[in-house]
Amino acid sequence: MKNVILYYYNLNNITLTPYYDKVLVKSGKDIFLFERVDNLDEVKLQYSLTKDKNEYYDFIINRENSIFTQYRNNYYVLLRTKNSKNVLDKILNPIEVEVKDDTASWPELWMKKCDFIEYQMNHIVNKYKIIDESIDYYIGLIEVAICYLNYNEKNKNSKKYLVHKRIDEKNFFNPLNVKVDIKQRDLAGYLKYLFLKEDYTEEKVEAIIYKANLDYDDAIRLFSRMLFPSHYLDVYDKVISDEIKERELKKIVLRSDEYELYLKMIFKILNKKNELPFIHFL
């Protein structure tokens, strides 16, 4: 791999270090990520969305004038990292984009996820004890999230923004993490991120939501997204694909009661400005 990087990029005296599922490349004072990519069309879009945004990592063009470099039948990109800050400001003030977005709506995507999980469970029943004991609860949360989003009747159409697949402050400005979606995606992702880090208080969450200045439709979208258990499903998917052990999922399940209290707290905060439909199990 080192020879490939030296050949395709104009770098000197590089050192390579494994970094999660990526490779950290150091050259002088610069730090790069050499990262494998699968969906080339998606990466081309991510490049076009972020190439003129100074805070995002830079795609490095290789000697063939391409952002893609092939190595052992896989494609990689080289990204120059930056010490960008102001994550919360970007979450609260995302950049509106005008691109063709054929992504299905949240309810469509969530229902497909439910159907796929039910299909999977027919093939893995009794294989994963924690999943067997918890999956019905989280499928129920998905169904509640879908129903709750139906209260968003005042304005079905929403502008699209430069947002993120998942919120992680360490990976926030990696362009491979960006996508086009509704702006409330990032705010919900950030609130889940704070929960998972156990870095939240009611005062902190209320201050963030207050700054977001949400109207009724925004609040419905945000709370629907909070109901959707992406924090469980991300780990579930990795367990099913044998990337991690099932015990990692237990950490999420053991905090399910705490997450319900977190939802209740957020609902109370949102309800101070917008009278939202009540959810009885909270």
Q: Does 178 lie in the same domain as 47?
A: no
Q: Does 55 lie in the same domain as 192?
A: no
pLDDT on residue 157: 61
pLDDT on residue 101: 65
pLDDT on residue 168: 93
pLDDT digits (tens, 9 = 90+) for 87-130: 999 999 999 998 776 667 899 999 999 999 999 999 888 899 99
230 or 98: whose pLDDT is higher? 230
Say if 279 falls within a structural domain.
Answer: no
Q: Is residue 179 predicted with pLDDT exceeding 60?
A: yes
Say if 171 falls within a structural domain.
Answer: yes
**What 3-state DSSP class applies to 33?**
strand
pLDDT on residue 84: 87
Confidence of residue 85 (pLDDT cuts 50, 70, 90): confident
The structure's pTM equals: 0.93
Going by C-alpha positions, the residue among 128, 62, 113 that lies closest to residue 233 is 113
Q: List the beta bridge partners of residue 25.
A: 16, 32
Say if 45 falls within a structural domain.
Answer: yes
What does the angle CA 87 – CA 93 – CA 97 come to, to the nearest 5 degrees?
110
Report the domain count for the chain. Answer: 2
Residue 160 belongs to domain with CATH number = 3.90.1200.10
State both tokens at 13: 């005296």
User: 21 lies in which domain range?
Assistant: 2-80
Establish how many alpha carbons lie within 13 A of residue 187's alpha carbon, considering only the half-sphere containing its beta carbon.
Answer: 27
